[in-house]
Structure 1
């Protein structure tokens, strides 16, 4: 795509409304973990919205430190992301990656046989030199690999970018996140959904572990040994620490009941063939309270001994272990994690100002 063509397309980039899914946003939570709750986006053109302004004669004008050529390439990255219906957070990840790899300049060549905005390599199967020098093609291949990464929206920018790029300098992308966020915002008109979202944390310091409704309840008549509640949510949703605490356990627990052997947690479990919690995390909280989060899709993002804040992302929802479908099994214990200490999470979470949604029960 030529600069002239990119400029024409860039003029058609409309403001997009970015909405945080789930709880209303009231309090920013910090934390040293991989990420906090990320915004999901829906594409629509609000009433009265206008394009970000026509390009100046002779090409796109400069924005801040970025000249017309760089801004045109940035516009191409956004347009491709919009066309592929990638959430706006993905545009920021792509933009920061291109800033690090090429300074948003469509390079003819680089180290080894790397080419273009993302310094992709023909020898690594990214495409031909001619294809990779086309910003539209290069951005498309980046987005396709990014969105194929399980849980990419729940990862910090540098981790998500590295999953795609496999760079020798995996931590280099993070420094570009502020610049990428500003440039995406300037070109698209979006002001939310570009970075981490805020999470509603109650005055007692608690939040919902996942934005979902309660399915199977605590120790029901048909499941008297069910020591928690099942929160029904699809695969890949961020799972949050319900309150601040210390990770006391993180492991895979999935056993093939036919053989007694390890079933594995990096695949779906089975309600009849698999026993165990799958990938799970336990957190010790103040006052002797313990919470457990089961059936995560991939290895959790936290480690034993790590402090987490309320709303910090622990991992992503899935269906590992003894599971009939994607959901989060959530437990609350008063004391050590045993059957005797389990309590019903529904009244407990209501008592700490973070009630679970029971609308579909």
Structure 2
């Protein structure tokens, strides 16, 4: 693939992913190279990176706020115990796990999961605290102001979490809103886009403390593990892009340069963006002869992705969707919500038949150096690719 930008050195990895899963199916021919492209608006802060875990989704999400806490870089026992308190209140109120992720991400932004006092309260010595915030009369995990309750109430983690959830549940369609918009509807912050960058780590914290709960989706009124597809969004904020099964896998022995997976699906099948993000690229990829020939079916060795889209997500991840049947439904710079339709399955570019070539890249790196195996990545988000296990 030709690209306008030069590759840059890769940034630090965001953490080890779940153990790789492999599958071998019938071959569908396509290619997926890329140049590098770096954007930071949706990326997480470097000092907030934690190690992903391969926790099974147990469907038993009880949280022990008094037990030992998992080890995560940059978040100590005290902070994770506060996160556990937030989750436990959500459980008691029967808030779905998506709400726990939103609440934890919000507290990460507002207080770094510390029960902060303002300077007046800290200097009075009347209430124990875990640090001093800097915003007027705001206190506690969510930096709530005086209208939310007394100082003592707002500095009680359980009270603060309950007030947050009460307001969240009143937000119309909160479960399907991008995390930052749901959080902002509650907090009314001066920095409304600041919450998005915490979604990835908040999901990992919820998984670690609550048995993989961020990998669940509501199915027939019950939380089900690893079932996010067809526009249904897991608590992590992810969904499978199309319902087909994985064909050609990631960097197989026979195709070491295959930087994604091929998902079989009939022509015209709707392609849904895997998570909320911002469109980086939406165009026709030139073939090996430099021609823009995406409006016709391709063939093996033609080269290129055909009509394709790249989307940047929280945590610095990028997803790529190749071989669309026609011009994508989205444009560069557009914000898209998880599950939103961005195009239809086709066979443009280097393709032997209709399918979606799907890639995941980390560290905001669109080049082949940033590509990782989509199969374990999507399963760890509760949105496994059908036929990939």
For CA contacts below 8 A with separation 6 or more, give which structure has more relative contact order: 2
TM range (shorter): 0.3 to 0.5
TM-score, normalised with respect to structure 2: 0.41
**Quick check: which has more Rg, 1 or 2?**
1
TM-score, normalised with respect to structure 1: 0.44
